[in-house]
Amino acid sequence: MRFLRVNMTDQTIRSEEVAEAYKTLGGRALTSIMVQSEVPATSDPLGPENKLVFAPGYFTGTTLVNTGRLSVGAKSPLTGGIKESNVGGTVAFSLARLGIAAVVIEGQCADTSFFLHIEADGSAGLVEADHYQGMRTYALVEQLRQIYGDKKSITCIGPAGDMQLLSASIQSTDLDGRPCRAAGRGGLGAVMGAKGLKALIIDQGGKTAAEIADSESFKTAARSYAKAVKEDEFSGQILPELGTAALVEPINAAGAFPTRNARVGQFEGAEKISGEAMAELIKSRGGRTTHKGCSQCIIDCSNVFVDKKGDYVTSSLEYETIWSMGGMIGNDDLDSIARLDFLCDDIGLDTMNTGVAIGIAMDAGYRSFGDGTAAIALVEEVATGSEIGRAIGNGPVAVGKYFNHDRVPTVKGQSIAAYDPRALQGMAVTYATTPMGADHTAGWVVAQNLEAFGGTINPHKAEGQVELSRDSQIHMAAVDSVGICDFAQSGLASEEGMANVHTMYAAKSGLSFAGDDWRELGVKVLKAERAFNRGAGFTAKDDRLPSMFYTEPLPPYNVVVQVSDEEMASTFDF
């Protein structure tokens, strides 16, 4: 395996062997430790000193199912701290099969834009791309596929990234060649735009086999893991039928569905935008509810949403977007939600940050809650670069300042996700303390907080929440490093689940690996991320939620965040 280092300042590319310190790392471990080591914490996120790192998971490219995950790391222009944003599709597998452990984008070209083309033989070159500046992602991918052929994985930015807006995403193609998979969080699309990189074009014909010290042990454990994923009710049955939208009804029932800029915890229109309603609508129009979007996937939780004529709108319409463009803005129309999802992918925007930004604008009285047409118009404004468009594209904090409105549900500048921290106290800890900003995937503790999911912790009380979030954050840092999809973690829940992962890590690396090593991997990642943030000027005061969550009781259960500042500060007492 090798690193591909691309210097945008002088347009040089060099291939180098993976250093010993990085040889057993992948995904988030590789991006975060490299950023912490090589990027000055006080550097300008949109300047030449920042680096943008694309790294497949440690298991990506092996026979293990559901490991087609790519970590994208850099200093975030949105949070001002370290960021790892995770995306599926086909790009991670394509890179791994070319023997590339990471693509590292260094330096900056301020006056010219480029494509990075990596060919099947592993050679790479920069191609001038000024003509494509401002082009939306779907049109861009269509043109690139005409030029370079269909057997390419494409990762690109849209107008939001070109304009270096703080909610800019990095979009990747799925198995159908559509740029509908987003590394959305943290504004890393703005970093890509600042570097002068419009797209990565990666050949899918790589033949490099993953380096595995004990291939038979790996294959045996991988087969057992895959069997557990297929046999699990959630990953084997519910996700293929309803996708992640299956969460709408139970989270709403728990009063944890932030609605109308998180003024209440239940949305009266939830039934209209639920996974069940979406699946029924898609099927009635001839779309697809069980769809394979990512390399190596056996869950098929994606969907293809079509309009009344049966024409493609978006893929995949997921829970977080249904919330951000639905309940958060009071919108119960699935067609407008799907259109908003498409527009964010096409313009290159994080749907969560953008939906929350629109919710704040509506809360400030600029538009009315529930007006999906107005929301669509606001997202279209982003692509024009208008004053309000740039505010929306720069995210919730920018919109709050624009309207002088103080109800801004963010941590470290990044919006919360689809779980209100007052109704799920464990998520309050995760949102506040993760180095990533209010990121739900950094430590998802919803199941343990809700009896409907088998949880045993009182979701409205502080007891046990810090320990729960700490353990989940450590675990998820390791999961993101090996490249296992969140939804395939059902394979970890089986009797032999974690043992299988330990076996595969040992079999691939040729080194011993057990339970303590898994925890040490997660802790190592978090320590690197927290060290970077401290260097960037973050203190314990940054690991707190906005005052609205402590002072505004959330209907219908009328709860506020109960976890004290002292308890928050103890989260990373490793």
| Residue 456 domain flag | no
pLDDT single digits (tens) 340-387: 999 999 999 999 999 999 999 999 999 999 999 999 999 999 999 999
Instruction: Supply the pLDDT for residue 481.
Output: 98
What is the Cβ-side half-sphere exposure of residue 180, based on CA atoms within 13 angstroms?
25
Q: Please give the pLDDT value at position 493.
A: 86
Buried b (16+ CB within 10 A) or exposed e, 505-544: bbbbbeeebeeebbbebbbbbbbbbbbbbeebebeeebbb
Task: For residues 164-192, give the mean pLDDT.
Answer: 98
Q: Provide the pLDDT for residue 476.
A: 98
The pLDDT value recorded for residue 332 is 98
What's the N-to-C CA distance of the chain in angstroms?
Answer: 32
User: What is the C-alpha separation between 333 and 327, in angstroms, rounded?
Assistant: 10
Residue 520: DSSP 8-state: H
Q: Show the CA angle centred on residue 328, arms to residues 404 and 555, nearest 5°.
A: 95
- Position 166 scores a pLDDT of 98
Q: What is the mean pLDDT of the segment spanning 195-214?
A: 96
Q: How many angstroms separate the CA atoms of 271 and 309, rounded?
A: 23
478: which 2 tokens? 């390791």
Indicate the pLDDT class of residue 7, thresholds 50, 70 and 90: very high
The answer to whether residues 351 and 325 touch, using CB atoms and an 8 Å cutoff, is yes
Query: Would you say residue 225 lies in a domain?
Result: no
**What percent of the chain clears pLDDT 90, i.e. is strictly above it?**
98
Average pLDDT over residues 288-298: 96
Tokens 């991918």 correspond to 141
Tell me the C-alpha to C-alpha distance, in Å, between residue 560 and each of 235, 449, 555. 33, 15, 10
Sign of the CA dihedral running 35, 73, 569, 444: negative
Asked whether residue 303 is domain-assigned, the answer is no
β strands within 108-222, DSSP E: 114-118, 124-128, 152-156, 170-172, 181-183, 197-203
- Mean pLDDT, the chain, whole residue set: 97
Does residue 242 lie in a domain region? Answer: no
Shortest CA distance to 84 belongs to which of 543, 444, 437, 564? 437
Is 297 a member of any domain? no
Of 337, 426, 351, 365, which Cα lies nearest the Cα of 396?
Answer: 351
- Which domain range does residue 47 map to? 2-203
pLDDT digits (tens, 9 = 90+) for 513-535: 998 999 999 999 999 999 999 99
In a domain, 86, yes or no: yes
pLDDT of residue 55: 98
Kindly report the CATH number assigned to the domain that includes residue 23.
Answer: 3.60.9.10
Cβ proximity of 162 and 131 under 8 Å: no
Quick check: 444 pLDDT over 90? Answer: yes
Residue 124, in any domain of the structure: yes
Question: Does residue 196 sit within a domain?
Answer: yes
CB 94 within 8 A of CB 177: no
Residues 269-295, mean pLDDT to the nearest whole number: 97
| Number of compact structural domains in the chain | 1
